[in-house]
A and B are shown apart, each in its own frame.
Chain A
Amino acid sequence: MIERTRGREGSDRGALGKEADFTLQQHSPPTTHHPTSSKRLTLNGPRLVFVNGDLGEPNAAGATGSLHLTGEALAFHGPRGCGAYLGSALAGEAAQAPSLTLTPLARAQATIVITAATSTCYAAVFPLLGKAPPGRYQATFTNDLGDQATLAVPLTIRTPSATRWPWMPTLALVAHDADSLSAALATAAANVSGAVITLAPTSPEQPITLSAPLLLPNNTVLRCDGAMGRLAASDAACPVLYWKPTGSLSPVIGLRPPASPSLPTRVRLENLRIVIAGPHAGVVSFTQPTQDAAAVGLQISLDPASDTDSMAMGALFTVTATATGLLLANSSGVHGGNCSATHWPHNTAIYVSRAAGSRVHNNTFTCGCQGYSFDSPANLIVTNNFWRSVGAIVSEGSGISTFTTGVAENVYFAFNTIIGNPDSAKRFESFTYDGPNGVYFGNVTDVSQDGRVLTTGNVTHTGGNKPHFADGGAVTVMAGPGLGATARLAICPPPLTNDHTLCLRDALPLTLAPRASLLTATAFRGQMVFEGNSFVNGTTFQLYGAGLNVTIAGNRFHSFGNVGSWGLFYQGAYQPCAFNSFLGNVLENGGNLHALGQAPPPDAPPYSGALAFAQIFRANRLCGRSSKVHHSGSIDGLLMENTLLYDAGSVTLDSTVFNAWLYNTSNATSPDICQLWSADHRRA
């Protein structure tokens, strides 16, 4: 049956939200950071990359309304400050915690100063605590050294209101069983203003057995009672959604086709227990564009009739269309997976394509197949998740790729734990970039006066399997005047849309010389931070081609393989790595820390230059004979300083590495040097 518990919107605010300020998807547009040429450079100044709201998720104390800022040089003091990653605990406390000054743009309001609740070298969280009314603000950040930077675009603070999704849909419905749930969904579909469907318990407790996929209409919340996103395992207030499919593979929970295909769908799943007893195409599967969608507090478990059934169970979360403001949090689940057929990048426990301004936080995944896959993201925060590989046929196989759009940028991937499975028959990467291919490799023949239009040889509009001739791709000067300079591709306006022109958002920061400057145009994978993660029993962590401006800081790699950058050979273009930093990482009982410029294959266009530029290694620690450093292949520009070893393997620099400077590699007397960061490892 359907029970209407609330007739008018906003008449009962207590059911869904608190009278507290929320922030929702207030990320800045993707910033375009690339090296800028000048006679002056700033060192140690804070650099801001992007900021997300909390997407409505409360923190551990139940408070909502926080801003999540990512950047660089945000805090120097503290256990995760820059000082710690640079190998020197700074004496004493900082004079001030990092702070954010919000200056209202439209109204004559007082300026608001908010102190960071937590901060590291690369991220800071600011609780608003009701101080900032809705509106637009100029945001200026001050780090703990007193240096400032201002966000390039105004911040918009949003709070819940009677008309604002997802807290105040107009219709409240209750479902006890499959029939009433189906009827509730039909009612919700007819109510364009939205509906909240609450699964109510029965006595004695009965599962809600599904006979068809749950297709959620726009503006629908499907939930159980319980603290938001904090469902206890024994919470009897929530009936189990039980799925035993018999027909063709389909997702368990999906989206109803929208009335207008151009509008994104908004749904929220909250505090649900789901048991899967047969093959499916994904538990939660969003295959059309979403905005502000959320899956919070889900407990997904398997009850397969056979191993065959288990193998045919799809991903826990599959998001294959543009997802803006997506929140996946506080959930747990087991992924069966059919790794004998298709796998990477789709058959991972979580596959999210084109997520923008989104957050994946505090989830626990047990992976029968592969782990995680984020394709073409922007402004994505992935924090405090746990992946454990258990697949016997295939395990691991995770990373960030550019298959869909050719651009993966502004990602903060931090404090996650990733555990591999050495017993698996086939193992892929614990983390990798992927989505190779490029569109041009050759000289520039002319440069426009403003430097933003480059005349070239023939440009391939489809580099391999996907077009990368897209807004935001990367251009790098590989040889000749301008060597090492990078810029971002732009879509050429008519009449420049032809096969011998590359257009840029901004001019390359160094002067080019026609017929002497050698260019490569590739996908862009960069502007990312990997901080404080634990990789255990894994295979490799690799920036596989076209990794630009990436920081890997304060991570632990235990019983691991290669850890490093990998400038990649020709696939439509050579794919260099440049401006990457490996700071304060621990490699214990295995691991090869490296920069690599892979040699061109014999059938590639001739090229004898470097495939990795400006690679920085500082204050890394290696323990155990199988842990080593090996920089190899064609590299131009490498700095390694303050490397600390305990009973470790060799430090090797191949003769093909040029302009490399190594300082202060020393042997420690205690294995305790590799206990750094071990307290942050999440065990489950």
Chain B
Amino acid sequence: MRKRGRLSVFCGLSLLLFSLSVASPSPSLMWVSSPVLPGQAAYIQGSGLANLTQIEIEYEERAWFDSHTTTSNNNNNNTVKKVTATVEHTAINGTSCVVRIPTDLPLAAWTLSLPNGYLQRGKEWRTADAGGR
């Protein structure tokens, strides 16, 4: 019994250390499949994403656009808006996830970012994941 207990503790610690070393580096976004239309799924490669449930999307809502002037996109009438998109799946090792782009998002360049709360919880990880195959 004592040997089994030591073995269990050893295995548990090993698994924990392995998991921490592999699955929970600091959260980071590295690559996203582009382009994508509203309503479609975007694939993200990164690290530390195993617990991610939401992605923040910022975009510029333009009051007007005229590429034939040098002031396009520089006018003060543009406003930056932020929405939240749902992470539908994450890889258990935290290296990839799939985000559903909201259907009603205006087609434009979108800036994806990790929620602040998730960044602060960066060392968290989970052992079970609904995503994957």
Contacts and interface: CB of A to CB of B under 8 A. Distances in A.
8 pairs of A and B residues whose beta carbons are closest in the complex: A45-B109, A35-B31, A147-B109, A146-B65, A659-B91, A639-B43, A82-B35, A99-B67
B63 to A, nearest CB: 11
B102 interface: no
Interface stretch (A210-218, A271-279, A475-483): A475-483
Contacts of A642: 40
B67 A39 contact: no
A115 B72 CA distance: 14
A579 interface: yes
Nearest to B27: A39
A146 B107 CA distance: 10
A95 B45 contact: no
Interface of A: 35-47, 72-73, 76, 82-83, 86-88, 90, 95-99, 101, 111, 113, 115, 121, 142, 145-148, 480-485, 509-511, 513, 516, 579, 581, 613-614, 616, 618, 636-637, 639, 641-642, 653, 657-661, 663
B70 interface: yes
Contacts of B96: 484, 614, 636-637, 659
Interface string B76-106: 0000000000001101110110100100000
Contacts of B127: none
Q: Is the interface of B mostly helix, strand, loop or mixed?
A: loop
Given A86-B40, A146-B65, A147-B109, A43 B70 contact: no
Contacts of B32: 41, 43
Given A43-B34, A481-B47, A659 B133 contact: yes
Contacts of A95: 65
Contacts of B119: 39
Among B62, B65, B89, find the residue whose CB has the most chain A CB atoms closer than 10 A.
B65
A640 B21 CA distance: 30
A37 B33 contact: no
Contacts of A42: 34, 109-112
Contacts of B66: 96
Given A41-B111, A73-B35, A637-B95, A101 B40 contact: no
A36 to B, nearest CB: 7
B31 A663 contact: no
A195 B37 CA distance: 55
Nearest to B40: A641
A44 B107 contact: yes
Contacts of B101: 43
12 contacts: A40-B112, A41-B32, A42-B109, A45-B109, A76-B35, A86-B36, A88-B37, A480-B21, A613-B45, A641-B40, A641-B41, A661-B98
B128 interface: no
B113 A40 contact: yes
Given A113-B68, A147-B108, A510-B30, A480 B35 contact: no
B47 A661 contact: no
Given A39-B119, A101-B70, A76 B21 contact: no
A72 B34 contact: yes
